[in-house]
Amino acid sequence: MLAIDVAAYRSPWRRRHPAAKAVLAGGLLLSALLLPPWPGAPITAVITLVVALGWARVPPRAFLRSARAPLAFIVTGSVTFLISVDTSGLAWAPGGAVRAGEVIGRCVAAVFCQLLFAMTTPLADVLPRIARRPGLSGLAEVAGLVYRMLSVVLETVNAIRRAQADRLGTRSWRTRWRSVIGLAAQVFVLSFDRARRLEAGLSDRGYTGSLAVSVDSLPLTGRFLALAPLPGLVSAGLTLALTSACTVA
């Protein structure tokens, strides 16, 4: 099981309705995307961290480990804003550093908002409710199947890597490259085989285009729902107040 799933199932907000948590995380996400990047993005990121680590009590280590890969992708992707390409070759882009900082700020805040929702809400609580909405059942089922296949593929990769390490497949750079190539080929074949067996299993069970799934009844409490928009409103209020103060000064 992924670390995000473990945190979601162990979250104190596990029994909260997904709609209320979507309002909370969605309000912060809108703040990250719509407010001025400075100081809106840092304020939204800090408030999201406070909500996640304080109110939702998400484990800090799990939160930071889950954010590590997206943040690395954001930083490396933003490097392209620093460089311009023309007929004379490569050069520093005018205003590129400012633009890169704005993109990094918005993206970091947005990632934190999404992790807040993902690490407090199991996917099993979200997809069945989405499937009940008209026209969204197919999308929910495809998302669920892809998520399941992703978990299976990751488990397969870990098992193959452990087997390669036990057979001294990482003792040198040459053997490591051979192990990586073998790993990619084996995962590719096994993924297609598992997908074929999954399709056959659904067909044998009389799949007709929809899956009947039982959904736990979760309370949509008025107090939590009333407090859910508050972090986003606080972020917007602080940003507008600081922006006005800087403008006046």
Tens digit of each residue's pLDDT, the chain (249 residues): 677 888 888 889 888 888 889 999 999 999 999 988 888 899 999 999 999 999 999 999 999 998 998 999 998 988 888 888 777 777 777 888 888 888 999 999 999 999 999 999 888 888 777 777 777 777 777 777 777 777 777 777 888 888 877 777 777 777 888 888 888 888 888 877 877 887 787 777 776 666 666 666 777 777 888 888 999 999 999 998 888 887 766
Query: Is the same domain home to 29 and 147?
Result: no
Query: Is the same domain home to 101 and 25?
Result: yes
What crossing angle do the helices spanning 137-166 and 173-204 adopt, rounded to 10°?
140
pLDDT at 220: 74
Separation of CA 220 from chain center: 24
Domain that holds residue 150: 128-204
Q: Looking at the 3D structure of the chain, how many domains does it have?
A: 2
Query: What is the tally of helices (H) and strands (E) in the chain?
Result: 10, 2
Enter the tokens of residue 63. Answer: 């939160």
132 SS3 class: coil
Query: Is the same domain home to 160 and 106?
Result: no
What is the rounded CA–CA span in Å between residue 30 and residue 56?
A: 20
What is the rounded CA–CA span in Å between residue 219 and residue 3?
A: 26
pLDDT at 138: 74
pLDDT at 48: 95
Query: Is the same domain home to 37 and 112?
Result: yes
Are 178 and 26 in contact, with CB atoms under 8 Å apart?
Answer: no
What is the rounded CA–CA span in Å between residue 213 and residue 219?
A: 19
Sorted by sequence, the CB contacts under 8 Å of residue 121 that are 6+ apart come out as 8, 11, 13, 18, 21, 22
Cis peptide before 18 (omega within 30 of 0): no
What is the rounded CA–CA span in Å between residue 10 and residue 57?
A: 10
What is the rounded CA–CA span in Å between residue 183 and residue 198?
A: 22
Kindly state whether residue 212 falls inside one of the protein's structural domains.
no
pLDDT at 213: 63
